[in-house]
Structure 1
Amino acid sequence: MSSILTNTSAMVALQTLKGINSGLAMTQSEISTGKSISSAKDNAAVWAISKVMESDVKGFSGISDSLALGESTVAVARQASETVTDLLTQMKGKIVAAQEENVDRTKIQTDIQALTDQIKSVVGAAQFNGLNLIDGTSSDSMNVLSSLDRDSSGNVNASTINIGRQNLSVTTPVTAQNFGAGDLAAAAPDYISGAGTTQTAAASALTAPATVTASGGTATVTVGQVAAGIGYEMALDGLDIKTADGSTANGSRTFQYVAGDSDGTADVAKNLLNQINSFFEAATDGSYTAVLGATDNQITITNNSGTDIDVGLRATSGGTAGTDAASGGLGTLANIDVTSDAGATAALSNIETLIGKSIDAASAFGSAEGRIQTQSSFISNLSDSMKSGIGALVDADMEEASARLQALQTQQQLGIQALSIANQQPQNILSLFR
């Protein structure tokens, strides 16, 4: 049966052509965008996954920049630490040469001071973008953003690489100690004692002192025990002290040290001894000497001047320990003086400790730099893998799209022909009425 009101063949041909055109439009979109899923309507689940992964890739791009900045900062610190190590090694050669008595130690000391100044310059210049990891101005670690970690619930946490600072400063910041006023009473001699009377906080430090006679007299002071916050004091009276015009004047000097948590008896004795020797070298004519006694917690003072001196002792509680240049970094470089036998001997031990510090610093920075490089390489590879994964989800198969386009274009042409034929069928009915 044929009908001029309902052309079923044309309807079928039209629906077929619409389907072909729809497929052709989709294929052309894939070819033009390069994606099989370019919007949420194409495949909502896959599109959502791809967008989350794309955001992570963008985040990893920022992490790569952070790692590059951190690596550069650490590389500067490592290079500076290695340079300081080289300079300290050169200084060690000078100090070894000063062990020989038949050398000009004054000139050697000048060379050592020049090397010290160069170390100061290197440490001061070892900054990247204003951040210096070796100048001792801060003990806070540097955190380098290294990763974004996403868990199964979709929560994201930032991971960091912690870089510890290393103090290679020659001029370490000093915090003052607070010499307490607590009265130890009868316990005072347990902390510091000698030939005289150890005073408490309630009495003058020179009450009943020990007299060190002229021309060879000695006095030995013993640090008996240590506790944090205990203040140790030695006062020397009757010293011949150099004045500005080159003459001498009778005077006194007090040396104090407050013990910290990590101090032992030898540490207290050594600190007081260093203070005393520094004063003797700077302000006297060499008539007085101070050395360690029979044990490392004793100090022996010798008076080779023409007048007696007095040594007074005091111990107090309630103090607060401070820091000095010798407590961190390379501050003890300031104490190196090879112009005397004792100074040259002490400098040899001192320089070994300082070289060890600089080597440890360079090693720490080298390890950190290697870790950052490894993480940077991993982030780069991870980003590439994620990009490949995103592509596998949403990118169009261009070979398949090309073949499908050719087929759909042929089908479109055939569909148009089929629709044209179907539309002509009602015209054939006219021949029945002729």
Structure 2
Amino acid sequence: MSSLNTNIAAMTALQTLAQTNKEMLVTQNRVSTGLKVRDASDNAAYWSIATTMRSDRAAVSTVEDALGLGAATIEVAVTAMNSAIETVTKIKAKLVAARAPGLDRGKIQSELAELQAELRNTAGSAVFSGENWLQVDSTGPTLKTIVASFSRDSTGNITIGTIEVDIGATGTMLFDIGGTNPASATGILDTVTDYVLASGTKSYSVAGVGTGIDISEITDDPTDLLALEAMVDAVDAALDRMTDAATLLGAAKSRISLQKDFVNKLMDSIDIGIGQLVDADMNEESTRLQALQVRQQLGVQALGIANQSAQQILRLFQG
């Protein structure tokens, strides 16, 4: 039946065209943004998961920055520690040379004084971002932590992992700047030791300010020579402790390097996971867009044909 009041064909064509335009708008948005889930209205569950993952990814990126800062701090400490070890090795060699009888130990002492000053300069300049792990205040915190990981468990609880480095007397501290009494210093190089000389008992440290090892008073007296040998033993013991400290720093540096590699891979994995949830398949969307464009054109033509039915009814009344 043909009706002037109700054009069923046109109504059907219009509804189909409107649906096609709606689908085309969705596809065009996906093509232009590259996302199939842009907000919660597209897919609430996927959008919620992706939003949380993006937030966690930003936190992991901050962890990467913290690891970089920690690695730089340790690198400075390692460089200074290795330099200090070389200097202490030279001090040990000078002391061994001073054991030979008849030498002018005053001249050797002048060389030792320069080496001891170099030790203090080395430790004092081992600073990065305001942190010095070789010249330490023993009255303050002596355990440094580096943020190393960020994780969220299945219940949503967050855990922040750290790498700890001991910069105290049992760790990397070469000089103790926490006290006013040099005799109570606990650093590897400024710990004071008593030596019995022929002229009396003297207190020295490997490189402490004002109390550094002094061989200018050493004579060929057997008591003095025994004290000199004890000084060599003290320097050798300091070298052993410095080697342990360098090993501690090296282990921390290696762990940070491994953790940085893991964090980089973790961020890539998170990006891939987010993409699986919200990214549009551009091959699929481009194919769909072409199909919708054809459907749109056909819909327009169908609507035009349907609108011509009224003109056909008018011809029936023309003579």
TM range (shorter): 0.7 to 0.9
- AA of the residue aligned to 2:175: S
CA distance in 1, matches of 2:312, 2:10: 14
Deviations 1:384-409 (A, max 9, x none): 11111111211111111111111111
Partner of 1:128: 128
Give the SS at the match of 1:40. Answer: coil
Preserved contact between residue 96 and residue 232 of structure 2 (Cα < 8 Å): yes
Q: How do residues 259-278 of structure 1 correspond to structure 2 at under 5 angstroms?
A: 274=194, 277=196
Give the SS at the match of 1:274. Answer: strand
Larger Rg: 1
Partner of 2:159: 157
Alpha-carbon distance change, 65 to 423 in structure 1, aligned in 2, over 3 angstroms: same
Q: State the number of aligned residues.
A: 298
Alpha-carbon distance change, 359 to 10 in structure 1, aligned in 2, over 3 angstroms: same
CA distance in 2, matches of 1:102, 1:157: 66
CA distance in 2, matches of 1:171, 1:40: 57
CA distance in 1, matches of 2:123, 2:256: 22
Q: Kindly indicate whether residue 273 of structure 2 is the aligned counterpart of residue 424 of structure 1.
A: no
Alpha-carbon distance change, 325 to 361 in structure 1, aligned in 2, over 3 angstroms: farther
Name whichever structure is richer in helix by fraction.
2
Give the SS at the match of 2:136. Answer: coil
Partner of 1:141: 143
Preserved contact between residue 60 and residue 147 of structure 1 (Cα < 8 Å): yes
Name whichever structure is richer in strand by fraction.
1
How many angstroms does 1:60 deviate by? 1.6
- AA of the residue aligned to 1:334: T
Partner of 2:214: 337
CA distance in 1, matches of 2:119, 2:93: 16
Return structure 1 stretches of 4+ with deviation > 2 angstroms.
170-177, 288-291, 329-340, 430-434
How many angstroms does 1:33 deviate by? 0.9
**Residue segments in structure 1 that go unaligned for 5+ positions in a row:** 178-256, 258-270, 292-323
Preserved contact between residue 137 and residue 177 of structure 2 (Cα < 8 Å): no
Alpha-carbon distance change, 87 to 396 in structure 1, aligned in 2, over 3 angstroms: same
Alpha-carbon distance change, 143 to 393 in structure 1, aligned in 2, over 3 angstroms: same
CA distance in 1, matches of 2:154, 2:104: 73
Partner of 1:266: none
Q: How do residues 311-326 of structure 1 correspond to structure 2 at under 5 angstroms?
A: none
Partner of 2:271: 387
Alpha-carbon distance change, 429 to 119 in structure 1, aligned in 2, over 3 angstroms: same
Alpha-carbon distance change, 140 to 171 in structure 1, aligned in 2, over 3 angstroms: closer
* Residue identity (%): 38
Give the SS at the match of 1:334. Answer: coil
CA distance in 1, matches of 2:107, 2:146: 46
Q: How do residues 32-181 of structure 1 correspond to structure 2 at under 5 angstroms?
A: 32-138=32-138, 139-165=141-167, 166-169=172-175, 173=179
- AA of the residue aligned to 2:132: N
CA distance in 2, matches of 1:381, 1:330: 45
- AA of the residue aligned to 1:274: D
TM-score (norm 2): 0.86
Q: How do residues 113-262 of structure 1 correspond to structure 2 at under 5 angstroms?
A: 113-138=113-138, 139-165=141-167, 166-169=172-175, 173=179
CA distance in 2, matches of 1:130, 1:359: 24
Give the SS at the match of 1:160. Answer: strand
Give the SS at the match of 1:18. Answer: helix
CA distance in 1, matches of 2:18, 2:204: 87
Deviations 1:10-51 (A, max 9, x none): 111111101110111111111111111111100010011111
Preserved contact between residue 172 and residue 331 of structure 1 (Cα < 8 Å): no
Partner of 1:304: none
Partner of 1:238: none
Partner of 2:245: 361
- AA of the residue aligned to 2:211: A
Q: Kindly indicate whether residue 285 of structure 2 is the aligned counterpart of residue 401 of structure 1.
A: yes
CA distance in 1, matches of 2:212, 2:181: 18
How many angstroms does 1:335 deviate by? 5.4
How many angstroms does 1:289 deviate by? 5.0
Alpha-carbon distance change, 45 to 70 in structure 1, aligned in 2, over 3 angstroms: same
How many angstroms does 1:142 deviate by? 1.2
Give the SS at the match of 1:2. Answer: coil
- AA of the residue aligned to 1:14: L
**Residue segments in structure 2 that go unaligned for 5+ positions in a row:** 185-191, 220-224
TM-score (norm 1): 0.64
